[in-house]
Each structure stands twice: as C-alpha cells, then as structure tokens.
Amino acid sequence: MRTLQRPQRAIFDPAEDFPLLMADATQLRTFAVDTVLAIFQLVEYMTATMQRDGPTKAAQLSRVRETWATRSNSDDPVAVEAVFPEAVLCQVVGGGRVLKAQLLRLMEVSELPEVSVRVVPHSAAVYPSMSCPFTWLSFPHRQHNDVAYAQMFLRSEYVETQAEIELVAERFSALRALSLDEGASLELIAEAVTRV
C-alpha cells in the first residue's frame, strides 16, 4: 500500500527567529534555571550542555551567543539583566575545569556596564518560575511590542499580548527582589570559583 506524500509546510520556529529579534532589541531581561545563560556560555560549557540535545539545538544556541557577542562589541550594545538561581553555580557542567572557566567568564561579563547579573540565593527557597526559564525583550522607539520567549523541552514559543507581558514583568520583578544585588552576586560567583 502506497502512502500519500504530503507537501512539507514551513513551520515558524521561535528558536530560529530568536537571534534575529535579539539583534534588534534594546533590552534583554532573562531568567535561567539550571545552566549559565546561553549568551554568556563558553563554547566548552555549551558543548557539554548540548551533548544529549543534538546538533540543531547546539546550532541555535551558537547563533544566540554570536548575536550577543556582536551586539556587545558594537556601539549599540543590548542592555542585559540576568537572573539565575545559586544552583547554577554548583552544576559541574563539563567537569571542574570547564565550570571554573565558565564562572570566571560570568564574572568578566558582569563587569560590563550594560550587563547586570543577579543570583537568587539558596536561602530564597521557593521563588517564581522555578522550572520556567524565559527571556523578555524590549525594542527601540516601540518599533515592536515587548516579547517574551520561553524555551521548553518540546518546543519554544513567544508571548506578546499586553496581559502576558505584564505577567512576565511581575515575575521578573519578583525574581529581582529575591535576588542578591550585583555586588553580592559577584562575591557569590567568586566564592563558587574557589570551591571548584
């Protein structure tokens, strides 16, 4: 029995589109759950995180890293506010040498004037979005409404209605309120380096 061949339909993939949006954004507010944020990842660290996810995901993350690197070296760098839980500092991704290099890289980027890095300490216990990483993008002169991007195991998606963005803003504000300030976060990262 012959099966019917259906024409392939082009499917919009937010993960493929994300670097393009990031290239136009003026502000990127992001919350990671279990690894260092993709934009700050060293190649070795990213490779270790992607070992089981396949080449497509690795290529997508590489494009995100490259887009941020290009913007951060330009005359118009994107402002980044990054928040993540303290557990990220303890995940021995790629082994001790790779983790130590990654933490040192995190300290380095946190010194950039357009970057804010904050850590939610273990003492915060329960916090919003514990298992839901997201990135919230804003654009210049309202050329585009704010967009939030969420990447999950099976799919990625954008949300951009006013009501959804307000919820994202509330979550991000709550995470910032629970996190250490930039100086204390940097000290915590430095302590983690000495333990690796």
Average pLDDT over residues 169-193: 95
Q: Which amino acid is at 178?
A: L
> Mean pLDDT across the chain, nearest whole number?
85
Record the pTM: 0.84
Of 11-15, 100-104, 122-126, where does mean pLDDT reach its minimum? 11-15
Q: Are 21 and 137 in contact (CB under 8 A)?
A: yes
List, for residues 32-44, the tens digit of each pLDDT value: 988 999 899 999 9
Alpha-helix residue ranges (DSSP H) falling in the chain: 14-24, 43-50, 55-72, 96-110, 162-178, 182-195
**147-151 vs 156-159, strand pairing mode:** antiparallel
The token pair that represents 157 in the structure block: 């998606």
Structure confidence at residue 2 as a pLDDT band (50, 70, 90): very low
- Residue that has been written with the tokens 């991000």 in this structure: 172
More confident of the two residues 109 and 143: 109
Q: Token pair for residue 100?
A: 């130590």
Cβ neighbourhood burial of 111 (10 Å; 0-12, 13-18, 19+):
exposed
Residue 90: its pLDDT value, please? Answer: 92
- What's the rounded mean pLDDT across residues 161-168? 92
pLDDT tier at 4 (50, 70, 90 boundaries)?
very low
Higher pLDDT, 77 or 101: 101
Q: Which of 164, 174, 153 is nearest to 31 (CA)?
A: 174
Reported as a single tens digit per residue, the pLDDT across 6-18 is 445 445 566 677 7
Burial 149-170 (b: 16+ CB within 10 A, else e): bbbeeeeeebbeeeeebeebee
Percent of the chain with pLDDT over 70: 85
Residue 106 corresponds to which tokens in the numbers above? 């995190």
Considering only CA atoms, which of 36, 152, 157 is closest in space to residue 105?
36
pLDDT for 187: 97
